Structure 1
Amino acid sequence: MCCLGYSLASSAGQTPPEVLIGTAEGFLEYSVEEYLQRGDIQGRSEIQVNRLDPRLRLAECDKELTTRLESPAQPMGRVTVRIRCDGTSPWTVFVPAQVKLYRDVVVVSRPLRRGAPIGYEDVSLAERDVGTLSQGFLTDTTQILGQKTTRALLPDQVLAPLHLEQAEVVSKGDQVVISALSTAINVRMPGEALSNGAPGEQIRVRNLSSGRVIKARVKGPGQVQVDM
């Protein structure tokens, strides 16, 4: 829980809505700055606290008001700030607000078909309110390396992790090197891929020396490894 004071003269022993709004704004500014610093994040924010009912009547608090983020866990999007008075006339009020947090994220530069490999020329960085990006986002164009699209994408569309999957680096019919590693041996032999595969995937490979079909894990272009 965080304690933040807001100086504004109360009238007739009451706490005006302006005090609550100022307190919520100050708390959210502090919370966003702390969130950015904790994650070493570059961004800018816009905070808008909703208007409160001017008929709201709360006793003037003889202690410093305490504030905390009621929901959600991070100060982004639609948030609710709980403001509490623990004085002789205690009260609690919940103040809704909107926090827009703008960051540079990866967006698509041109139309991409499903299954297309993605290169640097296909993306760029653009500022977006990340609080509205429920599907997630990427902040570094190097995160697209070795990836392909899982669906068709349009220009200016924010690229989310679910839009990407590892691209195959081995294709059916490719000549590959089969490695068999253990603490005692390191055997390499020629093989032929019998299916496509991305790094980390297990595929069927024909050992060209013995003619046997085995399962091997794709390590990189033209490289597979037998698990031992």
Structure 2
Amino acid sequence: MRRLFLSCLCLLLALPAWAGGNQDLGQLEKLAGLFLKRELGLREASWKLGRLDRRLVVPACDKPKAEWANPSETTGATAVSLSCPELGWALRLPVMVDEKRLGVALSRAVAPGEQLNAADIRMVEISNPALASNVLTDASQAVGQVMRSGAPAGAWLRGFMVRAPYLVRVNQQVKVLAQGDGFSAEAEGMAMSNAARGEQVNVRLANGRVVRGTVQEDGSVAVVF
């Protein structure tokens, strides 16, 4: 890959002057700056843009394009791709993006089984991402969730520490909504386990038959035949 990059670089350096003029590299850098301002303007981020090698020579482009070189890498050491689709050239401009990351932390000690509300959490800057693996990054991921285990005040709230609240509990009577090709029916049954909305649960019907369905928002169980 490095050999291919060097070969492409050599070709760019060796390009003759284009009849329509050469591309102003400074304009490309300004384009990259505008792109970053648009992309990062709503994020708490700062960036330091690199410079294009002034030895590079490419034909002037009427409509140059700026985009992330790798859309999955938009923070830290990354790059902006500057290209001209109609003329077939592309340049890579390095950029260092320093983004402020916030994580969800507990504002008080909580016990197993407690359901969290907005007062139980706070957003805290993650100064060391290496120590914040799996930390929730949005309050909406925590509010309304139930703690699987207890944790002290100030602890990071990680995904595995919470679960959705159960809408169906073991041995609870539930409504079963059965649907199939050309028919629908309702029945009552007993849940055989705990389950949250969207989870699968087995239900024993009055006739002893066990069916498996998906818990709905109202606590009913939808079974598709």
The normalised TM-score by structure 1 is 0.55
Is 1:31 paired with 2:17? Answer: no
SS in 1 for 2:38: helix
Q: 1:174 deviation in Å? A: 1.8
Corresponding residue for residue 76 of structure 1:
75
Q: In the TM superposition, what whole-angstrom CA distance separates every residue of 1:146-198 from its partner, at most 9, and x where no partner exists?
A: 534567766263x5666654332212122222222354333232x22221112
Equivalent of 1:195, from 186, 193, 196?
193
SS in 1 for 2:195: coil
Matched-pair identity in %? 19
Distance 1:179 1:81, change over 3 A: closer
CA contact (8 A) 1:138 1:160 kept: no
Equivalent of 2:214, from 210, 213, 217?
217
Q: 1:117 deviation in Å? A: 3.8
SS in 1 for 2:34: helix
Matched length: 189
| Structure 2: unaligned runs, 5 residues or longer | 1-22, 84-89
The normalised TM-score by structure 2 is 0.56
Q: 1:99 deviation in Å? A: 1.0
Letter in 2 for 1:225: A
Letter in 1 for 2:36: V
Letter in 1 for 2:186: V
Q: In the TM superposition, what whole-angstrom CA distance separates every residue of 1:7-31 from its partner, at most 9, and x where no partner exists?
A: 9xxxxxxxxxxxxxxx75x455322
RMSD (Å) for aligned C-alpha atoms: 4.7
CA contact (8 A) 2:25 2:54 kept: no
Distance 1:216 1:83 in 2: 51
Corresponding residue for residue 19 of structure 1:
none
Corresponding residue for residue 167 of structure 2:
169
| Structure 1: unaligned runs, 5 residues or longer | 8-22, 85-91
